[in-house]
Structure 1
Amino acid sequence: MLRFFLPFLCLSSLALAQGITWGPQVRVDDAPGASGHPALHPYTIIDDSLNIYSAWEDDRDQNDTSAICFARSTTLGSSFSANLTVCPDSLYNAYPWIVRGRGGNIYLAWQVRYMDSYWRIYLSRSTDGGQTFTQPDTVKGVVVRNNQNSSVNFGPMPKIAADPGDSVLYLVWANGEGADPTKVYCAKSTDGGITFFGQVVVNADTSRPAKHPDVATDDSGRVFVVYEQSNSGISNNDWHPLICANRSNDYGTTFQASHDTVCDDFTAGARRLKPSITRIPGRCLVIWEDSRMPPASDYSRPHLFFSQKHDTSAGYAPNLWVSKGCGDWNYRPRVEIDRTNGNLVVAWHSSLGTDSTRFEIRMSAYSDSSDSFGVSYKMFDTYTGDDASNYGNAFYPPAMAAANIGAVTNFFLVWQDLGEDVEGNIYSRRGWVVTSQVDLDIFPDALDAVGDSLDFGDLPAGPAYVSRSFRLTNTSGALNPDPGDGPSTARIDSLTATGVTLHLAGDPAQRILTGFVESPSPFPALEIGATIDATVTLYIPEGTPAGRYTGYLKLRAVGSDQTVDSDSIRIVVQGPLAAANLDGLKVFPNPFKPYVGHTCLNFEGLTAQAAIRIYDIKGRLVKEISESDGDGLATWTPGSASGVYIYHVDGSAGVKKGKIAIIR
């Protein structure tokens, strides 16, 4: 049985089901009024003392040129300082990035486009916790030459990292002019960012363009850089790059002669973009946008994938799918390590299903025991974007942190939201765990369940729904199918079920969206110790490749105390398969009534080879249909007049006859 104890954390170490209570939403940018002042691309960090630092592009005077603004909170996100303009909007400022060294210095880097169409990199620093910043200026000691500005190449995209001792500051960026291949560079500063030196190329293969780097470091002088590297020649605007990584073992002085390829899928046409890297003791974690799982072969719709490399490993591990149970478009993931127990959590922007005009923040967590990510969740209603164009260029990674305060796990989230202002405001919100008194369990081996699964067996293609049943309970001391948690001490007031997405074994990119809870509808409230039987219904759409499909139906319970628990049951089906004989043949809808919406007659449960002949009541042949694709389904769109018709099916293992009524 799968258990999900927190809305986005699969924490096996927790003994009780838990829920999160969220505090009020706090505004970060202080432009007057609720709307009419774009606050874009916020990047936020949360330090070990839970001080929050945020910088963003701000166009509150709406002159289409943004200033770089900054705010901080030293009150656990309950309030933020007056906004500080780090760089005025006399320059075209974009893509701010912040890092805080252990010594307390805050470094802020961003890119600026000049009238000559070339980008520069600017840097400013604060030595007083963000109360003041130095006069911003171009970084000294390095050569920045980049005039790239397309839908897939956003210029130098500078990133900075401070070593744990705060003695070395690293800067990575991309240089590229015209058709010359872009290259990723690294330089370092030992004087707090006043000057940089040691500019060196990071990407080992300089014949192919590299861009959009990210950087991490540790306390032993190693520097880790991840970036996009062209997979199809020398175009600086390659839509289908690989995700690569390289490292320096000598404080960024030199990088390895060969790189690691992080992604393990090389599907032609798939897009792999915007990698980010996180360093934890002994390993590097990389996450990126990847459209290897496109719906309807549309490679513009990325999901998220993750890989990690241990210091003792030869290469990066097999890629893991992160963005489960979310929309078709997924952008700008951010990895956070839970400071209470070391769990890895990811937050990102995801579309609402197939709607690319409405995005929200979703989260998921990695489980070491299963080496996988759980189904994603939203924490509360967010509206983070309305435009998936330019490969999600409107989005920036949301910020989050988890920490233990007074023996209670707390969560912090900072993001851009369009709910009040369609141009974007920036908000912060804090949540904390409360011990749940509600415990929802699904019975193993009850009704049609075998263990933790509902097996639908072998099914043909077609719209004839097939159902299986299972039993669940709001547990009590006497009735607790999963004694590892519970029992419940609260009534379940709300019980909801997700739809079912099934994936083909061996090819997770092949999926079918099918299945729902048919009854009861809606679920009633469940008192402590009460049980209820539920029915899951699904079918296999015509045209589905044959094979074994598996997935999960997830149920979410909200208790009378507003705490949450969840449980899941596995769904298994083999199909679509032709029948061995015609004993189970179904012909429907019968009678056929076009005036109530019927569009075709289905012959479901055919053998692999079958010939169908339809006659009128006088024995005249009306229609011949051949089934040979092996999915057990054939259809007929009748154009005949009202009346009774005879069908005759010759299968590879017998004959079946029957009547059809058409009523117009």
Structure 2
Amino acid sequence: MDKASVYYKGGSIYVVFEDDRDKDGYREIYFALSQDTGKTWSKNKLISKNIAGLDEYYPWITVDKNNVIHVVWQGVLNGVGKIYYTKSIDNGNTFLPPDTLPGVLVVYSTFSNVNFGPQPKIESDPKNGYLYVVWTDDRTGNLRIRLAKSTNGGSSFTDLGTIDHNPNNVNRQPSLAIDDSGYIHVVWARGTSGNNQDPKPFISYNFSKDGINWLSNDIIVNDNLSSVYRGNPSITINRVNGNVIVAWEDSRISGGNTTPDIFFAKKKISDNQFSQNLKANINSGTSNFKPKFFVDKFGKGLMVWHSNYISGSYFSIMGSAYSDSLNNFSISQLLFPFDTTFTGTSSANFGDYFYPPALYTDFIDSSTNFFLVWQDLKKDPLGDIYFLRGKVIISNLDLDIVGDSLHYLNFGLVPGDLWVKKTIRLYNTDSLNNPDKSDGPSKSIAYKLRADSVVVENCAVFKLYSKLPDSLLIGKYVDLDILGVIRDGCPYKIYYGTFYIYRNDKNNNEAYDTVGIYIIGPKPLNDLSKAKVHPNPFKPYAGHKFISFTNLTDNSRIDIFDVNGNKITTLYAGNDGSARWDGNVPSGVYTYVITDPNGNKTLGKIAIIR
């Protein structure tokens, strides 16, 4: 969802944004131009309809090969959403009178706390100048993704029909990109139920050469299919190698509908699936919203988003540099000194209250430049629009991690609450030792190697067991042990996490590499030889909540007796081979007897200290 949009071409920076400066409760669309790389800006120009009761927002801008500026946005009047359009043929000095998208009927009235309107995007084919507009439409009774095309510079558009192959579910939040071969790439949030309030979609993708013929089946971008919140996908193209790169909000780590991270994946047009999903917001806050991702023609770029890095209710703009050749992001960082920017406090309603940042990158003067526009509330609680130009600096390190395979490590099926050890090999690559041939080799010694523990859904935990070396020379490798466990009381399922190893190059630029980790369980054991009881002693005053019996067989019986031989309680292990006891008895020493379904027994004592 984009409430501002920025475009750079030929030394000019073009920005459109929504604004209620007349304070009538309805927004309008304004345009600003800078011709000196953002040092000064033109007077803001009203380019939308501005009629009573019409709320105009979510603008998007593009500039075609003939330097014509095209802008679309949505307008809502009496609960009905439409797409509006205007253009300028004189570099923004004047705009045509705004009107609904010529030749196209847009139907939208399904507004809710997760459905925000047509949310149009417009892009121009870099070779022939054709224009494409994508939006969400509900004419069929369900929210669908549609595409329109103009071959005459925006004088008229043709509705090319529905893109998605998800007719009975909700589809929304489309994002659009066109590569140098004229292929049209669209990504969107794909609902997984017929409920139009469904907040737990997948991220879906499709592409077409002509806007009419699409893949017969949409490609699901997210490789984790758990029922969690996902949304606001952003798509960008590496114009050198053709990689299609997608980023989105994803709550797979925390579970549920809150505290999303930012994930990304990529594919070539010939691939039938996207790459392993990787987390992009490394060392950010717990809640991350409205990612905007853009790479230049050489595959270097920037991701920006809102994050509560400073505190739980204080959001600001964070960013991370990206290298497509290295396939990773730099360590996330605030783009400005600590707490000098402020973009909001509430992550309610799936972060809809945040004004999304707008971003463009381009290769200028031998380096990757970025142009960022965002709304800031630090000085004015109603919001000001700010601009920043900067450069993207990429580490020259390439580290590869090999587990069971390149970038993957599988712990397999494990019992509950039992640490399991697996080994990975970490390379600082050279021309001979470069397992991932798609990037590298490294050009620097790796310094300050470090790794953080990973917790998935508060159940699976992964941590480094081996000591990392202080440095790693080019062409060398080190074997490292990683421990994994599924905590007691967690449900049986596949837990997937991403383990990160960080390092610095000789210029102190931070970077990292990842290994995707799978662990399955917990599973019951075949006998009682590894039965475990903990904590023992049990100390409620120290914060202990319950006593766990783990590594049991399915349906084992646990009998607990006091010192006089009186039975206190009987418990049964579940199908994960574990049971819990609240230990709500006086201080003392108690005996437990565990019996499996075949009559085999093991016993021991538990001390309770209150």
Check whether TM > 0.5.
Answer: yes
2:568 maps to which of 615, 618, 622: 622
Distance in 1, matches of 2:25 and 2:85, equals 22
Partner of 2:338: none
Distance in 2, matches of 1:452 and 1:179, equals 43
Shift in CA distance, 398/565, structure 1 to aligned 2, threshold 3 Å:
same
Partner of 1:380: 334
Is residue 461 of structure 2 the alignment partner of residue 514 of structure 1?
yes
Partner of 2:433: none
Partner of 1:57: 18
Partner of 1:338: 296
Contact 2:132–2:147 (8 Å) recurs in 1: no
Distance in 2, matches of 1:635 and 1:416, equals 50
Contact 1:604–1:634 (8 Å) recurs in 2: yes
1:541 maps to which of 487, 500, 507: 487
User: How do 1:480-491 residues align onto structure 2 when only pairs under 5 Å count?
Assistant: 485=442, 488=445
Q: Deviations over 1:199-232 (max 9, x none)?
A: 5544598987876655555677776666678876
Partner of 1:416: 375
User: How do 1:143-542 residues align onto structure 2 when only pairs under 5 Å count?
Assistant: 143-144=104-105, 146=107, 148=109, 150-151=111-112, 152-165=114-127, 167-173=129-135, 184=146, 186-188=148-150, 190=152, 192-193=153-154, 195-203=155-163, 215-217=176-178, 243=204, 245=206, 247=208, 249=210, 255-256=212-213, 260-263=217-220, 285=244, 287=246, 293=252, 296=255, 298=257, 310=269, 317-318=273-274, 321=277, 323=279, 331-340=289-298, 342=299, 347-349=304-306, 358=315, 361=318, 363=320, 374=328, 377-380=331-334, 384-395=343-354, 398-425=357-384, 426-433=386-393, 460-462=415-417, 485=442, 488=445, 492=448, 497-501=451-455, 512-515=459-462, 539-542=485-488
1:563 maps to which of 497, 501, 509: 509
Contact 1:246–1:259 (8 Å) recurs in 2: no
Distance in 1, matches of 2:74 and 2:325, equals 38
Partner of 2:47: 86
Contact 1:119–1:144 (8 Å) recurs in 2: no
Contact 1:46–1:400 (8 Å) recurs in 2: no
What is the CA-CA distance between 1:41 and the residue it aligns to?
1.1
What is the CA-CA distance between 1:57 and the residue it aligns to?
0.7
Of the structure 1 ranges 397-406 and 102-111, higher mean CA displacement relative to structure 2 is found in: 397-406
Shift in CA distance, 583/420, structure 1 to aligned 2, threshold 3 Å:
farther
Is residue 75 of structure 2 the alignment partner of residue 112 of structure 1?
yes
Contact 2:370–2:391 (8 Å) recurs in 1: yes
What is the CA-CA distance between 1:58 and the residue it aligns to?
1.7
Distance in 2, matches of 1:258 and 1:467, equals 43
**Aligned-partner residue type, residue 164 of structure 1:** P
2:589 maps to which of 626, 631, 644: 644
What is the CA-CA distance between 1:589 and the residue it aligns to?
2.8
1:67 maps to which of 28, 32, 36: 28
Counterpart secondary structure, 1:617 = coil
Shift in CA distance, 102/385, structure 1 to aligned 2, threshold 3 Å:
farther
What is the CA-CA distance between 1:356 and the residue it aligns to?
8.6
Contact 1:269–1:299 (8 Å) recurs in 2: no
CA RMSD across the alignment: 5.5
Q: Deviations over 1:540-576 (max 9, x none)?
A: 2234455776645434356896532445677676653
Distance in 1, matches of 2:406 and 2:192, equals 45
Shift in CA distance, 182/610, structure 1 to aligned 2, threshold 3 Å:
closer
Shift in CA distance, 318/467, structure 1 to aligned 2, threshold 3 Å:
closer
Distance in 1, matches of 2:104 and 2:443, equals 62
Larger RCO: 1 or 2 (CA < 8 Å, sep 6+): 1
Shift in CA distance, 604/365, structure 1 to aligned 2, threshold 3 Å:
same
Of the structure 1 ranges 325-334 and 608-617, higher mean CA displacement relative to structure 2 is found in: 325-334
What is the CA-CA distance between 1:98 and the residue it aligns to?
0.3
**Aligned-partner residue type, residue 72 of structure 1:** L
Counterpart secondary structure, 1:595 = helix
Partner of 1:122: 84
Distance in 2, matches of 1:172 and 1:442, equals 38
What is the CA-CA distance between 1:100 and the residue it aligns to?
0.6
What is the CA-CA distance between 1:105 and the residue it aligns to?
1.8
Distance in 2, matches of 1:586 and 1:53, equals 65
**Aligned-partner residue type, residue 261 of structure 1:** D
Contact 1:228–1:275 (8 Å) recurs in 2: yes
Contact 2:88–2:96 (8 Å) recurs in 1: no
Of the structure 1 ranges 275-284 and 150-159, higher mean CA displacement relative to structure 2 is found in: 275-284
Shift in CA distance, 543/57, structure 1 to aligned 2, threshold 3 Å:
same
What is the CA-CA distance between 1:637 and the residue it aligns to?
1.9
Shift in CA distance, 271/569, structure 1 to aligned 2, threshold 3 Å:
closer
What is the CA-CA distance between 1:623 and the residue it aligns to?
2.7
Of the structure 1 ranges 180-189 and 536-545, higher mean CA displacement relative to structure 2 is found in: 180-189
Distance in 2, matches of 1:55 and 1:366, equals 28
Distance in 2, matches of 1:601 and 1:205, equals 50
Distance in 1, matches of 2:572 and 2:260, equals 37
**Aligned-partner residue type, residue 590 of structure 2:** Y
In the superposition, the TM-score normalised over structure 2's length comes to 0.72
Partner of 1:592: 538
Counterpart secondary structure, 1:433 = coil
Shift in CA distance, 649/70, structure 1 to aligned 2, threshold 3 Å:
same
**Aligned-partner residue type, residue 500 of structure 2:** K
Distance in 2, matches of 1:61 and 1:402, equals 32
User: How do 1:28-67 residues align onto structure 2 when only pairs under 5 Å count?
Assistant: 41-47=3-9, 49=10, 51-67=12-28
Counterpart secondary structure, 2:583 = coil
Structure 2, unmatched stretches of 5+, are 336-340, 430-435
What is the CA-CA distance between 1:96 and the residue it aligns to?
0.9
Counterpart secondary structure, 1:160 = strand
What is the CA-CA distance between 1:83 and the residue it aligns to?
3.4
Shift in CA distance, 53/630, structure 1 to aligned 2, threshold 3 Å:
same
**Aligned-partner residue type, residue 514 of structure 1:** V
What is the CA-CA distance between 1:409 and the residue it aligns to?
4.3
The structure whose Rg is larger is 1
Distance in 2, matches of 1:352 and 1:188, equals 43
Counterpart secondary structure, 2:334 = coil
What is the aligned-residue identity percentage? 27
Shift in CA distance, 322/64, structure 1 to aligned 2, threshold 3 Å:
farther
Shift in CA distance, 221/499, structure 1 to aligned 2, threshold 3 Å:
closer
Is residue 58 of structure 2 the alignment partner of residue 95 of structure 1?
yes
**Aligned-partner residue type, residue 273 of structure 2:** A
Shift in CA distance, 353/606, structure 1 to aligned 2, threshold 3 Å:
farther
